[in-house]
Amino acid sequence: MRNIFRGRPKYVTVKAGTAPLKKDVPDGWWVQCQQCKTVLYRKDLERNLGICEKCRYHFPMSARERLRMLLDDPEAFVETDADLVPGNPLQFPEYEAKKERDLKKTGLRDAIITGSGVIEQHPVVLAIMEFGFLGGSMGSVVGEKLARAFDMALDGRLPVVVVSSSGGARMQEGIISLMQMQKTAAAVERHSRAGLLYISVLANPTTAGVWGSFASQGDVVIAEPGATVGFAGRQVIEAAVGKRVPPDLQTAETVFQNGFIDLIVPRDQLKGVIGQLLRLYGCPARKEAAAGAPEPEAKTDKEPEADK
Amino acid sequence: MVNGVFEWEKPLVELEQRINELQKFTREKGIDLSEDIQTLEKSAERLRKEIYSNLTPWQRVQMARHPKRPTTLDYIADIAEEFLELHGDRTVRDDPAIVGGPAVVDGRLVTIIGPQKGRDTRENIKRNFGLPHPEGYRKALRLMRQAEKFKRPIITLIDVVGAYPGIEAEQRGQGVMIAECIRYMSFLEVPIVCVITGEGGSGGALAIGVGDRILMMENAWYSVISPEMCAQILWKDTGKAAEAAEHLHLTAKDLLELKIIDEIVPEPTGGAHRNKQAAAAMLKAAIIKHLDELADIDPAELVERRIARYRTIGYLGH
Ligand SMILES: [Zn+2]
């Protein structure tokens, strides 16, 4: 017990239940389900939003795919702060190489996409994390982009939808990453005090410093089935308590039962449920927004009614 | 470490013992050895400076973990004229790993809160080695909100290796409680002075570490992750913690350079455990200084400045 953080050789970082992205949209025509081992036709799996048709296992999904899945018109999404790139404040070993590798892998400069778009007729500010970029970890860029997204929503009096998928704060930026927990939690609170809605969606995994800051703080917290949700890493807990941990301790379903998640929603129903929430909480629908409430600045270059 | 003495201190401690022996000899035998003693004391002083001003980050981490290092309650006893510990989170239980309550410091009514390590094995078991459960953070938040109600400044004394990696802590939602502490602490309309007195382990420390002034004691560490876990992730080898400690920039000096903290609180030569009263006196002086500076700021302005301070922390590339 005494040595939980010292000298025990066992623990590793929190990992998603499956390898990210590599199996995300696998090459080849066929792909095997992690959970039930059924071999699935890749085109069918993609059409099915990465849900196994046999056992409903949710395959990992990239941030870009999530955007396409959630938005009424993905083409009309106005991305913000895409030019923010991470630095290397501590000159941390291997950080540059890892960023380079994951830029190639994901096409993203860091682990989040932010911007404004429309979900089920409701204008929203949307932020989606990318697990494929350094495990979705939160450093300066993720913290800053999230804070700006909440600020933008505050200015435009818009709801925020965040889809998290992250192992926590980014080790490579040290203490600066830790401080992003405050930056994002404070941005949530400021937005909240203006009476605006924040829907937090937990994808696999949502853990450590991300669960311990903005991700757990939605007015409504939704999880994808089977997502890992928790604070301390499983191996760390096992090393500390010296015994096996129940395998379902940190599944979305257990965390739901423990009272920290409002809804567990399969991916193919997520857009509908978010739309329902936006309605139930009285968020302005598109026509109202165009007529009365101010649009977010970033959207002004789009003709409000053009795509319908 | 043997008998509370680190390997790197050995030459000094041996020298100090020799001086003690000579002094004893002088007293008992009445032989004047003052010249020898003086010479030895001079080299001891030189050695002290040499050893303690050049500690590596990993040595600082070990200093912060010294079993005789003053704990939160030790500091409170020396800093506060009066303190009454209050208990319970009003939901689950009282978590002995976090202590807190109303206090008087230099005539001011304040609230002091902090994780509490045990001073021996028995107390450590009772206090879960100073590792709070979610209810500990809930108690802390309750006391902080109470402080806001009564317009009392808050002092947090932070010495925690991290959040508790335990089954019940997860079941009872420690991530959620840590987030709530960070979120609501950011907006409390009273001055908050936080001091990392020993270990500042990631979210477990930040949960009570959001304030208007962040101070750090000379031999404390503060990091997003413990050096051991960092080494495990980087090299699959916790034995390389010393190397990880270098990379993490976790010492008081590092954090002052990174502008995360406002001031380093000096410790007695050799660390706070060598002279608890002196350490507490320096800590008290620093706390009072910052409380004074914050006292006249309008509460809303205080919150705006606090938010703005954190909002600018970040390092972007090109
Ligand atoms: Zn399946």
pLDDT above 90 for A7: no
- For residues B89 and B132, what is the distance between their CA atoms, to the nearest angstrom? 12
Is residue A48 located within the same domain as residue A66? no
pLDDT at A301: 45
The chain-wide mean pLDDT, for chain A, equals 88
Ligand 1 center from residue A263 Cα (angstroms): 22
Whether B307 contacts chain A with CB within 8 A: yes
The residues in B 248-267 lying below 8 A from A, measured between CB atoms, are 248-250, 255, 258, 260
> In this structure, are strands B154-160 and A160-166 parallel, antiparallel, or unpaired?
unpaired
Q: Judge whether residue B196 has pLDDT over 60.
A: yes
Residues B97 and B133 sit within 8 Å (Cβ to Cβ): yes
Same-domain check for residues A45 and A148: no
Mean pLDDT of A61-72: 97
Same-domain check for residues A53 and A77: no
Chain A nearest C-alpha distance from B233 (Å): 6
Residue A1: band (very low, low, confident or very high) from pLDDT cuts 50, 70, 90: very low
Q: What CATH number does the domain containing A136 carry?
A: 3.90.226.10
| A15 inside domain | no
The alpha carbon of residue B257 is apart from the nearest alpha carbon of chain A, in Å, by 11
Q: Which of A84, A175, A216 comes nearest B260 by C-beta?
A: A175
Give the closest-approach CA distance of B158 to chain A in angstroms: 15
Q: Residue A95 contacts by C-beta under 8 Å, 6 or more apart in sequence?
A: A88, A172
- Predicted local distance difference test score (pLDDT) of residue B308: 97
pLDDT bin (cut points 50, 70, 90) of residue A292 is very low
> pLDDT (tens digit, 9 = 90+) per residue, B81-126?
999 999 999 999 999 999 999 999 999 999 999 999 999 999 999 9
Chain B residues with CB under 8 Å of A93 CB are 234, 247
How does residue B292 score in pLDDT terms, banded at 50, 70 and 90? very high
Whether A189 and A51 map to the same domain: the answer is no
Q: Which residues contact A215 (CB under 8 A, 6 or more apart)?
A: A162, A164, A166, A200, A202, A206, A221, B179
Residue A19 lies in a domain: no
Q: Per residue in B221-240, pLDDT tens?
A: 999 999 999 999 889 999 99
Please give the model's pTM, rounded to 2 decimal places. Answer: 0.91
Give residue B1's pLDDT band: very low, low, confident or very high (50, 70, 90): confident
- Tell which of B62, B127, B229 to mutate to test the A interface (max A CBs under 10 Å): B229
Mean pLDDT of A85-111: 97
- CA of A301 relative to ligand 1 center, distance in Å: 43
**Over 70: is that where the pLDDT of B206 sits?**
yes
What's the number of domains chain A is made of? Answer: 2
Contact B175 A230 (CB under 8 A): yes
Name the residue among B202, B234, B316 with its Cβ closest to that of A87: B316
**What's the whole-number mean pLDDT along residues A214-241?**
95
Does A169 share its domain with A279?
yes
Residue A9 lies in a domain: no
Torsion angle, alpha carbons of B135, B138, B144, B147, to 10:
-80
How close is the nearest chain B Cα to the Cα of A69, in Å?
Answer: 28
User: Dihedral through CA B20, CA B22, CA B27, CA B28, nearest 10?
Assistant: 110
Do A240 and B164 lie within an 8 Å CB cutoff?
yes
A154 and A265: one domain? yes
Q: Indicate if the pLDDT at residue B266 is higher than 70.
A: yes
**For position A187, what pLDDT does the model report?**
98
The answer to whether B1 faces chain A, any CB pair under 8 Å, is no
Q: Is there a single domain that holds both residue A54 and residue A65?
A: no
pLDDT computed for residue A27 by the predictor: 65
Average pLDDT score, chain B: 96
Judgement on whether residues A144 and A55 belong to the same structural domain of the protein: no
Residue A235 is assigned to a structural domain of this protein: yes
Asked if residue A68 belongs to a domain, the reply is yes
A236: domain range? 61-307
Tell me the residues of chain B between 175 and 234 that have a Cβ less than 8 Å away from chain A.
175-176, 178-180, 182-184, 186-187, 201-203, 206-207, 210, 222-226, 228-230, 232-234
Higher pLDDT, B69 or A308: B69
Q: Are residues A52 and A121 in the same domain?
A: no
Cβ-defined contact of A232 to B174 (cutoff 8 Å): yes
Structural domain contains residue A24: no
Cβ-defined contact of A6 to B228 (cutoff 8 Å): yes
Q: Which residues of A touch B198 (CB under 8 A)?
A: none
For residue B87, how many other CB atoms are within 10 A of its CB? Answer: 12
Domain C-terminal end among A59, A76, A105: A59
Q: Which residues, 6+ apart, have CB-to-CB distance to B40 below 8 Å?
A: B15, B18, B19, B22
Of the candidates A169, A216, A245, which has its C-beta nearest B179's C-beta? A216
pLDDT for A291 beyond 70: no
Whether residue A20 has pLDDT greater than 70: no
Query: pLDDT exceeding 90 applies to what percent of chain A?
Result: 82
pLDDT at A109: 97
The confidence score (pLDDT) of residue B318 equals: 85
> Is residue A49 located within the same domain as residue A191?
no
- Give the model's pLDDT for residue B2: 86
What separation in Å is there between the alpha carbon of A60 and the centre of ligand 1? 13
Claim to verify: residue A48 and residue A109 sit in the same structural domain = no
Average pLDDT of B187-197? 98
Predicted confidence (pLDDT) at residue A22 exceeds the cutoff of 70: no
Do A160 and A205 belong to one domain?
A: yes
CB atoms A174 and B129 under 8 Å: no
